[in-house]
A and B are shown apart, each in its own frame.
Chain A
Amino acid sequence: MAQPYDYILAKYIEIGKRESKYIGHSYYLSLSSALEMAKEEFGNTYTGEEYNIAMINSEVYVLENYANNFTRIPD
């Protein structure tokens, strides 16, 4: 997985699908965890702006395609 976007999106969906089954979960926290994991994975390979854009595009993907209903995202 070469791009932070692919990585962040995959982690965001993985965490979101798992935790949206729990009442009171926060997709906001899922997204920040996914970002943090990507920064641990790739370190300084990418700039802060690149991480930010990757995170935003991941959020927008789930918003636009699934209206943040994570359990509707196919496995």
Chain B
Amino acid sequence: MFGYNLIGGVGSPTPTVHTNDMTSSGDLGFFAAGGDWLYDADETNSQDDDNWIMMVRPYNPANYGGTPIAYDTSDHSLSEGSDWVLYNQGGSNHSGGGTQLSLDRAFWGMRSSTSGYTAKNYMTDLANDLGSFTNNVAVTTQTERYSAGHRLNDTTGIFYAKSNSQQQIIGTYNGGATTTIAATLGDGPAQYMWDFSSPGGGTEYANLGTANTWVYLNTNNSATFAEGTTRLDMNHCVWDGSAGTAVTKVDRDSVVTLPTHTGSTLAPTILATTWGNILIHFDTSNPGNSVVYPVTWSGTSPTIGSAVPWAGGTQIPSHECYLKGLDGSGIVHNGTKYQCGQDRSGRNVDLYRTCRIYTSGSDLKLDTIDIDFSKPNGEHTLRVRHRGVVTFSSTTDASVWPLFMANNKDLGIWHKDTGKFHYIENAYY
């Protein structure tokens, strides 16, 4: 008997799927999205388009570019604007990544091959026509610290360098020309991470947790999650919010001994809740061994509860469910605030809307699901809302960028390999 339910059926509205093709199948992911379809009542759209997405356009060695996309929810038409150059730092190749904090604001990391592979971190906001940056402030310039920007909450992000010299820098940004960053955590493998989140608390959508506080996961100062890795370390970090000040970090080594996971190398992920965190251990080879751990905090000290079996068991394996970054923070490479699936009805922010993608013949199919993580003992309920809503044809690549709509019912999702954007009405009705 598994802990999930199939709901829907008689009386439930049937999902309606609207599909649009992108002009390119080589796009690299959303780094911001906004407008009426996504914003909460206290968020105001300053952009010209009512509903918009900023896509990172296909790779170009000379520069990194973006493509503005307008979406009309009345007729479900999608229009792509002209590509524009986000970053051109000179040299013959570039790479990096950016993530939206909120509204038109983002953190970016970018480097090129020029000047000894110089890397810069930026805080930036977009022009109303989505064709340029209004502000694009380089807050650091370094070599060998090759970063991307990652979201913690509406005003705070973390620049994480995975390069030869690992580094994390937290900063705050409210748009405009003013920026604030902390001192770095230092250089080296102690800064490696699989994922991060806030330690939870509060009730605001995509903003759970205490300001300027984050928790990141690794194993013995390593990012490699091998078959034999069972040690999990949690690193608790607090910044006072002042420019240039040091972050207080407390390493909590070996706080969890994960179950053995022979043949599975998908690293754990962490989500914020109103009461703490949910730590999710995947097992791609033996999905029935997947577990979640409840984590509660007293200051910098975590208490790890007993492991609870993943509610989907082997029928809805955890590694087929979109979970990483689902709380609106963590290591996603090019991402938006609205990849956060938390419930927006005001009733239960610990209820996460998400989806499952699984193999069906030579295709992939998508189910919409939700998971209630409101119990601090880690017991959770997984519900299948609609089965097989979308088919991604002739692909085995599960790379997707979801957008969870403000109406709490609809889901937008871009599947990278097929290059299609699907808008699913009543995905969670």
Contact = CB atoms under 8 A, between A and B. Distances in A.
A24 B352 CA distance: 15
Contact of A32 (B58, B162, B284): B162
Interface stretch (B67-75, B168-176, B315-323): B315-323
B114 to A, nearest CB: 12
B320 A22 contact: yes
Name the residue in A28, A49, A70 with the highest tally of chain B Cβ atoms < 10 Å from its Cβ. Answer: A28
A51 B59 contact: no
Nearest to A47: B164
A24 to B, nearest CB: 4
Contacts of B189: 36
A15 B398 CA distance: 14
Contacts of B93: 56-57, 60, 64
Interface string B386-411: 00000000011111100000000000
A68 to B, nearest CB: 6
Contact of B192 (A22, A32, A72): A32
B163 A24 contact: no
A6 interface: no
A48 B165 contact: yes
Contact of B59 (A37, A52, A63): A63
Contacts of B144: 48-49, 52
B266 interface: yes
B192 A24 contact: no
Nearest to B145: A52
B34 interface: no
B102 interface: no
Interface stretch (B82-90, B124-132, B294-302, B324-332): B324-332
B159 interface: no
A20 B397 contact: yes
Contact of A67 (B28, B116, B162): B28
Contacts of A70: 397
Contacts of B355: 23
Interface in B244-275: 265-267, 269
A22 to B, nearest CB: 5
Ordered nearest first, which 9 A-B pairs have the shortest CB separation? Answer: A67-B26, A32-B162, A24-B324, A63-B59, A52-B164, A48-B164, A23-B398, A71-B397, A33-B224
28 contacts: A20-B399, A21-B398, A23-B319, A23-B398, A23-B399, A24-B326, A25-B324, A26-B324, A26-B332, A28-B148, A31-B162, A32-B192, A33-B223, A36-B222, A36-B223, A37-B224, A48-B164, A48-B165, A49-B144, A49-B164, A51-B164, A56-B95, A56-B113, A63-B59, A67-B26, A67-B28, A68-B399, A71-B396
Given A27-B333, A32-B223, A49-B144, 13 more contacts: A21-B398, A22-B266, A23-B357, A29-B267, A35-B162, A35-B163, A36-B192, A36-B223, A52-B144, A53-B117, A56-B95, A67-B58, A71-B397
Interface of A: 15, 18-29, 31-33, 35-37, 48-49, 51-53, 55-57, 59-60, 63-64, 67-72
